[in-house]
Amino acid sequence: MASNGNGSLANGASTRGKPIKCKAAVAWGPGEPLAMEEVEVAPPGRLEVRVKLLFTSICHTDLSFLKGENELQRKFPRILGHEAAGVVESVGEGVEDLAAGDHVVPIFNGECGACAYCESGKTNLCGTYRVDPFKSTMASDGGTRFSVVDGSGERRPVYHFLNTSTFAEYTVLDTACAVKVHPKAPLDKMCLLSCGISTGVGAAWNTANISTGSTVAVFGLGAVGLAVAEGARLRGAARIIGVDINSEKFTKEMGVTDFIDSKACGKPVHEAIREMTDGGVDYSFECTGINDVLREAFLSTHDGWGLTVVLGIHATPKMMPLHPMELFDGRRITGCVFGDFKGKSQLPDIVDKCMNGELNLNFDGFITHKMPFSDINKAFQLLEEGKSLRCVLHF
């Protein structure tokens, strides 16, 4: 199926209600390179949409799952990927908020809009469609919408990933996990709202609620960490200290004002930060998924009011590297999912503000590489080697 110049589908009516065969990068097992396969994508079920993806990008979470770092979450064969943008090809029964031709961004943390969680202003989780790393099937019937012929000639199901599965030319999403965006918004940039930018910027704006003049430390300057810095910059933070083992990631373009190379620091990082900030920062953000780094982030905040926001994906079954009594000095710690944004109800407004110039998010600063989808394994290699922030793949 082709798309016309503005990304809308040229012949969606001819495929509505029928299976579609397309290319997908299938993960057959932990640690194995993705295999480009022809998969069959079933029509959308009730409250589902089928989307022609135009762009997808790669996140460290994809890399972690591909490597099989958490044995409890292994499920293969599987189509990974959770950052993307595309156009609705068809909709299933009961879908009222989306139609064929709509431009959408998939989100791994869905929003049905009707459950007690969605109606609460205290959480961005959804009772049914919240992020669930153990989930590998669709919510409506517990089945998959992907299938592939394996080496023995047998057709077998291919499992879903994080409500999205974007490493394919077509995917099927719960309508709760598809956000309609401005039709003229550049989809190669909008795909970053599926995870990295929304998570980091939202952590700064919603979870921490950074105020003008605050001091901030960001541990791990990948895409999420730099998105935190970008969010802090936009909120007027006075000082944004970046901490990483790769000095090449220090970029003032993204708001980082100071840099600490944790390998060359010569003392515990939290001690260096306390010296730099007269007792510690107001907010710290842990974006690495490493327990020792989480402890340094916690200790780098000021006693009495410091807040640490956990964004890194930590291995199971490791526990928090803190003693409960350490919380009695006034420091606080909290987790954050998808930047505490309610995706379907709040992201469209973010996009509209970017389009009308009211909000100047530096999307271009995150995109270090652009490649065809067929080069996806090369893109994974660049990410693992620390040579890319976001590699945007075009179909």
Rounded-to-5 percentages of helix, strand, coil across the chain: 30, 25, 45
Position 7 pLDDT exceeds 60: no
Choosing from 37, 50, 56, 60, the catalytic residue is: 60
Listed residue (384, 382, 161) closest to 393, CA to CA: 382
Q: Which residues contact 119 (CB under 8 A, 6 or more apart)?
A: none
- Which one of the listed residues 59, 191, 336, 391 is annotated catalytic? 59
Position 18, amino acid: K
What per-residue confidence (pLDDT) applies to 12? 58
- Please confirm, yes or no, whether 251 is among the known catalytic residues: no
Beta strand pairing status for 178-180 and 103-106?
A: antiparallel
Share of the chain above pLDDT 90, in %: 88
- Residues 76/82/84/89 CA torsion (nearest 10 deg): 60
Catalytic option among 177, 195, 336, 391: 195
60 noted as active-site residue? yes
Please say if 46 is a catalytic residue: no
Assign 8 a pLDDT band (cuts: 50, 70, 90): very low
According to the model, what pLDDT value does residue 250 have? Answer: 84
Distance, CA of 263 to CA of 272 (rounded, Å): 13
The yes-or-no answer on residue 156 being catalytic is no
As a whole number of angstroms, the distance between CA 331 and CA 375 comes to 45
Domains assigned to the chain: 20-196+341-394 (3.90.180.10), 208-335 (3.40.50.720)
Q: How many CA atoms lie within 13 A of 284 on its CB side?
A: 29
Q: Is 59 a catalytic residue?
A: yes
Residue type for position 224: V
158/95 Cα distance (integer angstroms): 24
Of 82, 103, 233, 274, catalytic: 82
Which of 50, 111, 126, 277 is an active site residue?
Answer: 126
Q: What does the pLDDT read at residue 13?
A: 66
pLDDT digits (tens, 9 = 90+) for 23-49: 999 999 999 999 999 999 999 999 999
Q: Is 286 a catalytic residue?
A: no
What pTM was estimated for this model as a whole?
A: 0.94
* 118 part of the active site: yes
